Amino acid sequence: MFNLEKNDRETFARIGKFYTAHGSFNTPVFMPVGTVGTVKAVSTVEIEEIGYEIILGNTYHLYLRPGPEIIKKFNSLHNFINWRGSILTDSGGYQVFSLNSLRKIKKNGVEFRSHIDGSKHLFTPENVIEYQKVFGSDIAMVLDVCPPYPSKYEDVKEAVILTNEWAKRSIERAKELNIKVFGIVQGGVFEDLRRFSAEFLVNLDFDGFAIGGLGIGEPKNEMWRIVEEVVKILPKDKPRYLMGIGKPEDFLEGIRRGVDMFDCVVPTRNARNGTLYTTCGRVLIKKEKYKYDKNPVDKNCECFTCKNYTRAYLRHLFNTGEVLALRLNTIHNLFYYFSLIKNIRQAIIDDKFNEFMIKFYELQKEEEND
């Protein structure tokens, strides 16, 4: 169940709360990506301590390793990874369709070979929901067809038709299994196909709606144009999830257009690559200028990393290949992301979202250009 609690006076930004079997989470929300049952470099305890209420897993990867049989022995993915909050699991459709020569699309589903050992498997709209039920997912995603960018109009149209057919089969199985499920709007950068997909899905009783197939190479202005078109069609009383999008500025641009949910590997992957996010822009921690820097990564941050370590030390750890660098960097980036979303929610409550956006962009002066 989704409760819409407040709309911004000047934009389409809004705050709400979504209730699951494992509690609830506030929206707008960023979901850290725990593809194979772990958010890389940090523990579920640390993620909970930061304040996160929901994380994301991936059905394709969890299906291959550790496999539904092992997770079933623990009664849920929550128990297996020791996570008390909610879990959304992606269907794995994007991963399967990224395999190119290793997969074959059929009306019934998609055959694919494992990227690990080459073994042959079949995903159908029904069994993907069934696997997510085994995982104990609080929110399941339908199996969809995600064509690459750029793609021909006819190819994208064919993908939308199949995605819609699979969505209908998916929700029927989800209702039988009593699991919350989101539909996924596809259609590339073609407005008419996006409208066709969204209008079809809205007529089905989904618990929420995702916008998929964006952030895969198209220009940013094209992405936001499509988001605006889709949001116009999606119901106001259901959450809207922009899949795979999650740079700090994307939150502001998406939220002001009415998006509620985000996920992305950006904060964790970039942390492992030495890129740290701060209230004043990005810090590339390996740079020479931080060699003697006694300041924390971000003077405005209260995370474990910033309260205990200097930029100079973090630079030393990263440049010497120490594992601790990955952990401390990841903790910081996840804390920054959580704080940013929390502050955005407060700005909406205070009817100061536009002011918050203006100040955010004024402060975002990348340090490497100083």
Supply the residues annotated as catalytic: 90, 263
Question: CA–CA separation, 30 vs 264, rounded Å?
Answer: 8
Strand ranges inside the chain, DSSP E: 2-7, 14-20, 23-27, 29-32, 54-58, 86-90, 103-105, 110-113, 120-123, 139-141, 181-185, 208-211, 240-242, 261-264, 275-278, 281-284
Question: CA–CA separation, 233 vs 237, rounded Å?
Answer: 12
Give the Cα-Cα-Cα angle 349, 352, 358 (nearest 5 degrees).
Answer: 140
Say if CB 44 and CB 22 are below 8 A apart: no
Helix (H/G/I), strand (E/B), else coil: 87? strand
- In the chain, the N- to C-terminal Cα span, in Å, equals 47
Consecutive H or E run containing 267: helix 266-272
Q: What are phi and psi of 299, to 5 degrees?
A: -60, -20
Say if CB 52 and CB 85 are below 8 A apart: yes
Instruction: Tally the C-alpha atoms within 13 A of residue 189's C-alpha that lie toward its C-beta.
Output: 16
What are residue 208's DSSP bridge partners? 182
Give the Cα-Cα-Cα angle 299, 300, 305 (nearest 5 degrees).
Answer: 65
What are residue 316's DSSP bridge partners? none
